[in-house]
């Protein structure tokens, strides 16, 4: 595996400063050489060859086919300080290619607003690695994923910022390719099915107004492991100080240690009482993160103190994303703000209209407008801390959904929005254990847990959730049916989101020792009964907690089983909850037996998703639907 990183990265502003360190050339083998229209750059393990006519890049594996955009006739190539520079005058594009920390780093800068499609990847590949949620590794000829009705293939594409991490990769046996895009804002990834095989094209929007005039891609040859692109990206973060670990967070706030071994749950109605909290403890549950929704029944001080006295984390849900017109019906307390916020602090689109909020309710709030009034933010948070909570969940602040705001009173680019959110979360999380929704890797320095980053969401999920007759409505005395009504997923959602043969731990490879990750809160463990075995095995294999929604009835019915699984999970977390994930392997040809390694041997976990017993030479027989963990010389097994 490669262990080096780009020379410089500014997390949050996602700018790369190109330099000439890390080249693997010698005096007899220069880092960069030019032969006609071919530029050869020395990279780790070999060389990369760039055709300046069309930006085709070749190495031990094709790193890019010809650009999907006609670039025009290239200008003359110059070499200076081990970097090659040239231009495409017809396009107003300047290009730099450099060997950096063993990678080929190509930087494109445009003097005009335009779209450029490059790199074009996947020729000769067997599998695609994509950090959608936790991560997917998809055989490129898989019939399911090549079907345009599934949603991966199509014209719309996927914004890199909406992935949990800004990279993708391909592998073909003992060789593969990794693509890291620190300038993810303004970049999308489109997939096409070419003769029944997945190919991808990245497209960057150069916009002076949006601050996306520079596009940087780092290309690497890997050893073909399904987690190789994640290891490559982790190296980039770690080498440049962009990775803040749980151990560092625990040192600054000891309460963060209470995440280690804890399952997560949102409490509703009669589960928010001291009696319900005591019942969880009496069942033998030793660690929990407990949250409650933004409604008119927050947890009382007595209930919070009961939880914190048992060593649990407890905190409210909040969001700074939405505001609604106070003269109308505001449908939840978190969308209610003091005078002057609606509509003055709303994000305004380029057309001059307010940016409509989630599901069309109200508007999205501008982080730039709120940053101008820090006392407002501080007072809002303080109002939720009066009952003694030690944690806080801030919805969507750490996700990829950021905005260009055209309101002249608080003009903002997406990059500025992202930085504002980092600054805001840093302040809020100073003395609290802070979490957010589907936290992108750029936010790892300011959040300690993330709800949703474990789930590779498909677009069909939103349609399913809008079917209230089947999914459940958002009401109920002891919790909305939306959260508590059991449902069966469609075959497409079941395969695309939870089939273990497609799942790989990309997020955990990068961030296991930095951010505690769970599934989405509306996809609680008890919401999807048919998926419980696979979800339990995935959670234990990845050393990540299950996420529940609880009322008194669920505690009575599911509590004993929850306690058994939490005890097993706590054993794994105590061994390696703050360690990095260092390896992942498929142990069977059908990919249904999988193994992870944490902390270079501190914890070895093997899960059997198949239908027959698997014999592992290290841990013995593992039955179907079981997971086995080896810690030092001891092993323990769970068959949920």
Across 12-21, 341-350, 495-504, least confident range: 12-21
Q: Tokens in use for 268?
A: 């509703």
> Distance (Å, rounded) from C-alpha 127 to C-alpha 591?
13
329-363 burial: b if 16+ Cβ within 10 Å, else e: ebebebbbbeeebbeebbbbbeeeebbebeeeebb
Are residues 354 and 341 in contact, defined by beta-carbon separation less than 8 angstroms?
Answer: no
pLDDT at residue 538 tops 60: yes
Per-residue 3-state assignment (H helix, E strand, C coil) for 149-163: HHCCECCCCEEHHHC
Are residues 129 and 137 in contact, defined by beta-carbon separation less than 8 angstroms?
Answer: yes
Handedness of CA 547, 305, 269, 425 (dihedral sign): negative
**Which of the 8 DSSP states describes residue 45?**
T
List all residues 6 or more positions away from 589 whose beta carbon is below 8 Å from its beta carbon. Answer: none
pLDDT at residue 29 tops 80: no
> Distance (Å, rounded) from C-alpha 619 to C-alpha 628?
7
Residue 532 CB neighbour total at 10 angstroms: 16
Q: Tokens in use for 541?
A: 């294999």
pLDDT at residue 473 tops 60: yes
> Distance (Å, rounded) from C-alpha 599 to C-alpha 3?
16
pLDDT at residue 617 tops 50: yes
Q: Tokens in use for 434?
A: 């802070």
pLDDT at residue 6 tops 50: no
| pLDDT digits 0-9 by tens, 515-534 | 999 999 999 999 999 999 99
Confidence of residue 633 (pLDDT cuts 50, 70, 90): confident
Ranges of beta strands (E only) in 448-588 are 449-451, 516-518, 547-550, 581-586
List all residues 6 or more positions away from 122 whose beta carbon is below 8 Å from its beta carbon. Answer: 128, 140, 170, 197, 198, 199, 200
Closest CA to 423 of 378, 383, 362, 357: 378
| pLDDT digits 0-9 by tens, 90-117 | 999 999 999 999 999 999 999 999 999 9
Confidence of residue 280 (pLDDT cuts 50, 70, 90): very high
Closest CA to 342 of 360, 366, 319, 313: 366
Q: Phi and psi of 151, rounded to 5°? A: 110, -15
**Packing angle of the helix pair 414-428, 374-383 (nearest 10 deg):** 50
Confidence of residue 12 (pLDDT cuts 50, 70, 90): very low
- pLDDT value of position 28: 52
Alpha-helical regions (H) of 106-255: 143-146, 228-239, 246-252
| pLDDT digits 0-9 by tens, 189-239 | 999 999 999 999 999 999 999 999 999 999 999 999 999 999 999 999 988
What would you measure as the largest C-alpha separation in the chain, in angstroms? Answer: 78
Percent of the chain as helix, strand, coil, to the nearest 5: 25, 30, 45
pLDDT at residue 620 tops 90: no
- pLDDT value of position 23: 33
Q: Name the residue with tokens 């670039």.
A: 71
Are residues 240 and 425 in contact, defined by beta-carbon separation less than 8 angstroms?
Answer: no
**484 or 476: which leads in pLDDT:** 484
| pLDDT digits 0-9 by tens, 334-356 | 999 999 999 999 999 999 999 99
Confidence of residue 15 (pLDDT cuts 50, 70, 90): very low
Closest CA to 100 of 44, 178, 177: 44
Confidence of residue 19 (pLDDT cuts 50, 70, 90): very low
For the chain, give the percent of residues with pLDDT over 90. Answer: 89
> Distance (Å, rounded) from C-alpha 432 to C-alpha 171?
41
pTM here is 0.95
Closest CA to 396 of 427, 425, 429: 425
Average pLDDT of 357-384?
95
Run of H or E including 120: strand 114-121
Confidence of residue 30 (pLDDT cuts 50, 70, 90): confident
Peptide bond into 632 cis (omega under 30): no
For the chain, give the percent of residues with pLDDT over 70. Answer: 95
Q: Tokens in use for 451?
A: 């709800």
List all residues 6 or more positions away from 262 whose beta carbon is below 8 Å from its beta carbon. Answer: 287, 288, 289, 312, 313, 545, 566, 570
Average pLDDT of 18-38?
62
Closest CA to 326 of 340, 316, 311, 313: 340
Residue 41 CA neighbour count, 13 Å, CB half: 36
- How many residues are recorded in the chain? 640
């Amino acid at each position: 595996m490669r262990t080096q990183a780009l020379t410089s990265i500014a997390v949050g502003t996602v700018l790369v400063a190109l330099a000439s360190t890390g080249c693997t050339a010698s005096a007899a083998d220069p880092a960069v050489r030019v032969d006609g229209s071919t530029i050869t750059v020395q990279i780790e393990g070999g060389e990369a060859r760039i055709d300046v006519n069309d930006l085709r890049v070749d190495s031990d594996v094709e790193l890019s086919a010809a650009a999907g955009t006609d670039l025009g006739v290239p200008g003359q190539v110059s070499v200076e300080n081990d970097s090659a520079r040239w231009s495409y005058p017809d396009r107003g594009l300047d290009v730099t290619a450099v060997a950096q920390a063993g990678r080929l780093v190509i930087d494109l800068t445009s003097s005009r607003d335009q779209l450029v499609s490059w790199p074009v990847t996947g020729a000769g590949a067997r599998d695609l690695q994509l950090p959608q949620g936790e991560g997917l590794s998809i055989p490129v000829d898989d019939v399911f994923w090549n079907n345009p009705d599934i949603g991966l293939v199509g014209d719309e594409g996927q914004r890199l910022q909406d992935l949990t991490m800004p990279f993708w990769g391909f592998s073909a046996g003992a060789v593969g390719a990794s693509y890291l895009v620190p300038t993810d804002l303004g970049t999308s990834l489109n997939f096409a099915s070419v003769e029944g095989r997945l190919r991808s094209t990245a497209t960057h929007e150069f916009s002076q107004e949006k601050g996306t005039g520079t596009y940087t891609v780092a290309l690497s040859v890997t050893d073909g492991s399904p987690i190789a692109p994640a290891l490559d990206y982790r190296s980039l973060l770690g080498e440049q100080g962009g990775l803040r670990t749980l151990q560092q967070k625990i040192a600054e706030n000891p309460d963060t240690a209470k995440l280690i071994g804890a399952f997560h749950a949102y409490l509703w109605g009669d589960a928010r009482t001291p009696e319900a909290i005591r019942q969880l403890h009496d069942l033998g549950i030793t660690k929990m993160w407990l949250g409650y929704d933004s409604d008119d029944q927050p947890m009382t001080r007595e209930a919070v103190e009961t939880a914190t006295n048992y060593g649990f984390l407890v905190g409210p849900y909040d969001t700074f994303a939405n505001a609604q017109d106070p003269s109308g019906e505001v449908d939840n307390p978190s969308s209610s703000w003091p005078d002057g916020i609606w509509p003055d602090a709303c994000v305004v689109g380029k057309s001059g209209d307010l940016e409509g909020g989630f599901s069309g309710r109200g508007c999205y709030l501008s982080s730039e407008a709120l940053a101008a009034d820090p006392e407002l933010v501080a007072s809002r948070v303080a109002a939720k801390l009066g009952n003694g909570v030690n944690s806080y969940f801030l919805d969507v602040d750490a996700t990829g959904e950021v905005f260009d705001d055209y309101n002249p009173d608080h003009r903002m680019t997406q990059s500025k929005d992202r930085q504002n959110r980092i600054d805001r979360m840093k302040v809020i999380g100073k003395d609290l254990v802070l979490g957010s929704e589907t936290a992108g890797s750029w936010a790892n320095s300011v959040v300690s847990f993330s709800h949703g980053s474990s789930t590779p969401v498909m677009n069909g999920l939103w349609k399913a959730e809008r079917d209230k007759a089947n999914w459940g409505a958002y009401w109920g005395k002891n919790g909305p049916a939306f959260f508590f009504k059991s449902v069966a997923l469609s075959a497409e959602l079941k395969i695309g989101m939870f089939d273990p043969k497609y799942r790989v731990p990309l997020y955990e490879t990068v961030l296991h020792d930095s951010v505690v990750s769970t599934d989405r809160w509306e996809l609680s463990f008890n919401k999807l009964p048919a998926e419980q075995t696979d979800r339990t095995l995935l959670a234990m294999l990845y050393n990540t907690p299950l996420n529940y929604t609880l009322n008194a009835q669920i505690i009575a019915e599911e509590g004993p089983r929850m306690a058994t699984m939490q005890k097993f999970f706590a054993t794994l977390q105590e061994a390696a909850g703050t360690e990095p994930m260092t390896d992942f392997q498929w142990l069977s040809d059908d990919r249904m037996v999988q193994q992870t390694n944490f902390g270079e041997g501190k914890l070895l976990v093997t899960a059997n998703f198949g239908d027959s017993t698997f014999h592992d030479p290290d841990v013995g027989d593992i039955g179907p639907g079981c997971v086995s963990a080896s810690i030092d010389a001891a092993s323990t097994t769970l068959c949920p």
